[in-house]
Structures are given as structure tokens and as C-alpha cells.
Amino acid sequence: MTTPFPLLRLPRLALIPVFNYMDPLDIISFSLLSERTNKLSKSLRKISINSISAFVRSDYPRITVALKNDMSVGLHLYTEILPGEVNVMLRNGMISWEKGSITVAKLVERILGVTSCESLEYVILRGPLQLEVCDTLAQLPKLQKLVIDDSCSDSFAKKALEIILPVTTEISLYRIPFESREEFHTFLKSNLNELYIHSQFSTFTLDDFLVTNALKVELRQVLFSVTDICQFLTNWFQTQLST
């Protein structure tokens, strides 16, 4: 039987060598336990990393942290308690919480707080999710790539795009959540560098993409007839000549 050690009761100077000895996964895990441990981790040791990526779902986010030494630390953060585990248990890179004790948005916020990385490399949103996750992501200076999975509802996907668009320049859509051509055109005119569509669509046509401001557009897993493509190219050339 082990005896609990009152780590948080130690003076700050005594905690410094303890934190210096801890590996990055331990630092991140410790910072997620509470607001107090998060603040302590931020003040005593921030982790130098190259990038952070996140696969976010309502039941758990999967976050990968790429360290400066080219190693990656994977965290599976379950917001539902795992069978046979106690609350806030770390084992083999997996951490579990009692359901409802902490939100996905708070998890992402705490991890960003203890690292030197101010932005996420990419985020995959897989619904259903709460919009507070998007609010947290919108506070980042930059999000390199946002992916909207086809499991997200149209209403959530549209709201997520509205919130996060100002901080990202690359988007992949596995569903087109827009019902009207006006909504779709407003999105296409956003300040994007790259746009990837991985979904068939019948409401819109190739000509709708003529209004986009994106520097690069790729339509993957989308089928068009030769007539559609020829008509699009004709319209595109006419647009270029008129400008």
C-alpha cells in the first residue's frame, strides 16, 4: 500500500527540481488535474514543442503533442470514466475523468497553457460537440487547419466555421452544411488559402466555386460529367477575360 505524498503543500522552491525531473507527459497530465495544478505547471515549467494537433469528439479528444526532439506524445483524454479506472487516472497515455467534471474546451485550454505552442497544427471536429470548444479555438492566434467531419450536424458545422474562420486559412469539409447558395457563397469568399471538399453535393454546381477567394480548391470524392467540367472551364475563362 502506498502513502499519498502532499506534493502541493511543498514550497515553490522545492517544487522546481520536481518539475524539472518530470517528463512532458507527466507535466501535461498534472496540469489537467485542476485549475490549481494548471497554474502551477504554467509558472514552474512550460514545455517546448513544435506542434499540437487535436481530434475532438464529445466523449473524448485525442491530442498529439510533437516535442522539440521530434518525438510525439499522444494523449487520449476521456471525459467518461473508463471501466475499472478511478477518476483522473493516467495509464499508457490515457486519462479519464468522471463524466461532466471537465469540458473538452477546458482540456484543450489547459494543454495550450502549459506549452510554448500558441497555435494548433490541425483540429478535427467530430460531433456532436458543444460550441464552447469552438470558442476556445477562436482565441488562438492561429489554427493551421480545421477539419469538419461528416458526423457534425449542419447547424454546428456552420456555427463552428463562423467562429473559427478568423484564425484559420485551411479548411477541409466532409459535409457541406450550407442550405442556400447565398450562405455557400459567403463562405467561399472567406480569406482562405486552401479549401478541400470531401463530399458529394447536388444543391450547388461547379460554377459556385468561381466566387471563391481561396488560393487552392480541391474537390475530392466528387463526381462531375464532362459537360459540367467543360462548362465550368468556359465560364472561368470568361471570368478571367472580364477582369
- Taking only the tens place, the pLDDT of each residue in 8-54 is 788 888 888 888 888 777 888 788 888 888 888 888 887 776 666 77
The stretches in the chain having pLDDT less than 50 are 1, 79-93
- Cβ atoms < 10 Å from Cβ of 160: 24
pLDDT above 90 coverage of the chain, percent = 14
> Is residue 86 within 8 Å of 18, Cβ to Cβ?
no
Give yes or no for a contact between 110 and 31, defined as CB atoms under 8 angstroms apart.
yes
Question: What is the spatial distance between Cα 134 and Cα 105, in angstroms, rounded to a whole number?
Answer: 8
Nearest Cα neighbor of 137 from 101, 163, 100 is: 163
Q: Are strands 61-67 and 72-78 parallel, antiparallel or unpaired?
A: antiparallel
Give me the pLDDT at residue 98, please.
55
Residue 210, amino acid = L
Give me the pLDDT at residue 196, please: 94
Give the CA dihedral 128, 129, 134, 136, nearest 10 degrees: -160
Q: Residue 128: its pLDDT value, please?
A: 66
pLDDT value at position 129?
A: 65
pLDDT for residue 189: 92
Q: How many CB atoms lie within 10 A of CB 27?
A: 19
Beta strands in 34-181 (DSSP E): 49-56, 61-67, 72-78, 89-91, 94-96, 120-125, 143-148, 170-173
Residue 72 has a pLDDT of 55
Q: Which pLDDT value is given to residue 84?
A: 45
Domain map of the chain by residue range?
47-242
Q: Are strands 120-125 and 143-148 parallel, antiparallel or unpaired?
A: parallel
Give residue for cell 512550460.
46
Strand 94-96 relative to strand 89-91, pairing: antiparallel
| CA distances (Å), origin 226, targets 29, 229, 232 | 54, 5, 10
